[in-house]
Amino acid sequence: MGALFDMKSFFAWLESAGEHELLQRRDQLQYAINHKLTEGGVIADARYLLKEIEQEMLARTMR
What is d(CA 57, CA 29) in angstroms, rounded to the nearest whole number? 15
- CA separation for the pair 39, 16 (Å, rounded): 30
The predicted-structure confidence for 34-62, as pLDDT tens digits, reads as follows 999 999 999 999 999 999 999 999 999 99
Give residue 8's Cα distance to chain centre: 13
DSSP helix/strand/coil, 37:
coil
Of all residues in the chain, what percent carry a pLDDT higher than 70?
A: 97
Q: What is the pTM of this model?
A: 0.90
d(Cα 54, Cα 14) in Å, to the nearest integer?
A: 10
- Angle subtended by helix axes 2-16 and 40-62, to nearest 10: 30
Does the pLDDT of residue 21 top 60, yes or no?
yes
pLDDT at 5: 75
